[in-house]
């Protein structure tokens, strides 16, 4: 993350049109790319749980979904902070922002479901189904600015003619993407450890009730 900060604030040049506020871009994009990665893990782990019924996959899905929701929230907040000086408003209901807000609501609902369904097996089954269905919105969020041209700019990378980044800016973005990726892995390890501890406490509580 220190390397990511160095890349965004020191290594890359100042953007000519937007100035220093454009530096939010490096963290905004990294949050969204890593949230998509985290949700892909949720999708894969949910499919694996339904196929095998192994608790590990349910634990992995729960941990990754929680981190993905954090990244989505940060991505939305950073986008709003960037939008205000550039667009003059914090929020507008264009295609990208609307589908992103729907994605946030889906996975907030996912976390609520995991907290309010008491039966462990039923909770895992319902969460797995929602984790799979919710992932459908991820490509919709990505392609929304290709399918519908509204307020949000077109893709900077692989966006067709006229798109692309200055090579030094590309290096800064890569630093941020890698930094956030390792942050995701670190948080995932810690969150899985917390989930295992919770499961052990639940098991001990059930044994005490039986005794």
135-191 pLDDT, tens digit per residue, is 999 999 988 877 777 777 766 665 555 556 788 998 999 999 999 999 999 999 999
34-60 pLDDT, tens digit per residue, is 999 999 999 999 999 999 999 999 999
Q: How far apart are CA 6 and CA 3, in angstroms?
A: 5
15-28 pLDDT, tens digit per residue, is 888 888 889 999 99
Q: What's this model's pTM, rounded to 2 decimal places? A: 0.89
Domain boundaries, the chain: 18-155+167-210
């Amino acid at each position: 993350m220190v390397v990511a900060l160095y890349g965004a604030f020191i290594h890359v040049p100042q953007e000519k049109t937007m100035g220093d506020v454009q530096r939010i871009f490096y963290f905004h994009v990294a949050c969204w790319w890593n949230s998509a990665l985290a949700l892909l893990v949720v999708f894969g782990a949910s499919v694996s749980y339904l196929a095998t019924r192994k608790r590990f996959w349910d634990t992995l899905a729960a941990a990754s979904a929680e981190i993905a929701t954090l990244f989505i929230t940060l991505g939305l907040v950073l986008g709003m902070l960037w939008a205000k000086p550039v667009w003059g408003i914090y929020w507008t209901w264009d295609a990208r922002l609307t589908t992103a807000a729907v994605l946030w609501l889906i996975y907030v609902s996912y976390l609520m479901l995991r907290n309010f369904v008491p039966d462990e097996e039923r909770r895992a089954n319902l969460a797995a189904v929602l984790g799979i269905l919710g992932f459908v919105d991820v490509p919709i969020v990505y392609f929304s600015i290709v399918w519908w041209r509204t307020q949000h700019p077109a893709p900077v990378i692989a966006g067709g003619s006229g798109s692309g980044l200055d090579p030094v800016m590309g290096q800064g973005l890569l630093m941020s993407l890698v930094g956030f990726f390792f942050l995701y892995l670190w948080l995932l390890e810690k969150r899985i450890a917390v989930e295992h501890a919770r499961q052990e406490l639940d098991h001990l509580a059930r044994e005490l009730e039986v005794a």
